[in-house]
Amino acid sequence: MLQPIAVDLKSLSDALADAQSIAIGFTQAIKNLEKNPEKKLEKNPDKEEKPEYNFPSHLKLIEKLEETFEIDLRDELAFFAATGKAGEIFEIPVSSNQFVADRILLIGLGDESNSAIRQAGAALGRKGRGKAVTIASLCVSDEQQLKAFAISVQLGAYIWTQKTGPTQEIPLFLFHTDSPVVINDASTIASAISRTRDLIHTPSNIKTPLWLADEAVKIAADSGLEVKVLAGKELAEFGGLRAVGNSSPKPGPRFVQISYHPKGKKKSAGILPHVVIVGKGITFDTGGVSLKRPYEFMTAMKSDMAGSAAALGAISALPYFQPQVQVTVLMMLAENALSGTSQRPSDVITHYGGKTVEVLDTDAEGRLVLADGLAFADINLNPDYLIDIATLTGAATLGLGRQHAAMYTRDEKVAKSFSEAGERSGDRVWHMPLVDDYKQALESPIADLSHITSKKHFSAGSVTAALFLEHFAGDRTWIHFDIAGVARSESDSGENPKGGTGFGVRLLIEWLTSLS
């Protein structure tokens, strides 16, 4: 895992003394008649309105830097015709015997919203990515914005590679704050996301269900979490997990259960809220007998375990934050392969808890493994909140694009709390409807349910997938996240590298810590 290191310092002078570059955030405001209506009659048509540039943080120090380096930053910005758009960067060479720094990076902060601050942070991270440079930031001072900015800096600088050769260089970013915990929090969250991305990017010839289970055990041990793994005959009741995972019998599917309890609290149920998170963990998805076409659709399928990876990444950070809530993560790990032991369209399987399901499309395998996990949690773990997270349907991507995950729940209050957590964290979600009229689409003449719409005139694939999963959640407060559109980026831009994004880690950490 390669990531930049965030360091909090006691004074800005320490940061500037060590830095090779100094990053300064700026905004732009155009003076116009709407803001100055009283000047309407005085306007000179031959005189252009000039943009006004502002430096929202550490202004006195910035003025001192201008004096030391004998530079007028506003003039420089005017020369570049800077717009102030979030993430816009201009590089100014400087020289002074008082500082190591040989350049100033001017970074647009947009409208200074949390979204714009994250874009600016990602741009700064990308500026240092893959370089052994030290950059001191004078971009943000507000604590909540600094946390978001520092996380995005590290995400923008993220690299994953299996190339041989020299070790990848890592940048060092320096931040000043009177509350070092802000940077520690940011580093913990960014590390959890980076760890999640590492798992997603690992190719599937390495990342078997056994390998991923072993990685979960290592991460749990490093984080001080309880963990157990089920395999083979221990999975006899998990009909969905076996139906999918036995298509690749060596090593076969795995069920991983990871538990977090706050320090000093008893583990008995009822004392604290209990949240169970079920993650889809398909380590590669060929589609099985219902083989994916065209074949190019298959190349990204090493990321089909992003739900389990996000759940693992989130719970790995909880011992640091110590939220007053019990959390259990269930990772449903399998490979959906094409082989002589693959399930077939028309098979009927029996899920954990006894429900029978007619399989009509083996490429709709994610809901089969999740159904087992949800039923297991409902029957054995008595959760107050039952969550599942999965790269489940292309329909979610068609409906919402790649900026929001689809969220399904019948609890409006919980939906609101997750929407707010998504806006704060940057992992945004959109509350989708569970349309009861569509339930008939899942009727089967030979089993309790069909796992996909057997009636061809129905669409709304993300909705009907959620309705299927709801059958296995009992009467729990259940929330389903379809992250098919947001778990993977098709381009290397902003906070995200091309490939796994680690979506869901920030969202889950933010929401779980808000329950305390």
Question: In a 3-state reduction of DSSP, which class is residue 303?
Answer: helix
From CA 498, how far away is CA 489, in angstroms rounded? Answer: 5
From CA 343, how far away is CA 365, in angstroms rounded? Answer: 10
Contacts of 188 (CB under 8 A, 6+ apart): 317, 320, 321
50 in active site:
no
Give strand pairing partners of 489: 499
The secondary element (H helix, E strand) that includes residue 190 is helix 180-201
Per-residue tokens: 342: 């693959």
For tokens 């759940």, name the residue. 311
Residue among 242, 367, 428, 506 flagged as catalytic:
367
Contacts of 319 (CB under 8 A, 6+ apart): 223, 224, 225, 260
From CA 193, how far away is CA 169, in angstroms rounded? Answer: 20
Residue among 64, 85, 292, 439 flagged as catalytic:
292
CA triplet 358, 363, 369: central angle to 5 degrees? Answer: 65
Does residue 371 contact residue 351 with C-beta atoms inside 8 Å?
Answer: yes
**In terms of Cα–Cα distance, which of 159, 171, 155 is closest to 119?**
155
Per-residue tokens: 40: 């309407």
Does residue 371 contact residue 278 with C-beta atoms inside 8 Å?
Answer: no
103-119 per-residue burial string, b: 16 or more CB within 10 A, e: under 16: bbbbbbbbebebebbbb
292 in active site:
yes
| β strands within 75-191, DSSP E | 89-93, 103-108, 134-138, 172-176
Q: What type of residue sits at position 59?
A: L
Q: At what angle do helices 209-223 and 180-201 cross, to 10 degrees?
A: 160
Among all residues, which ones are annotated catalytic?
292, 367
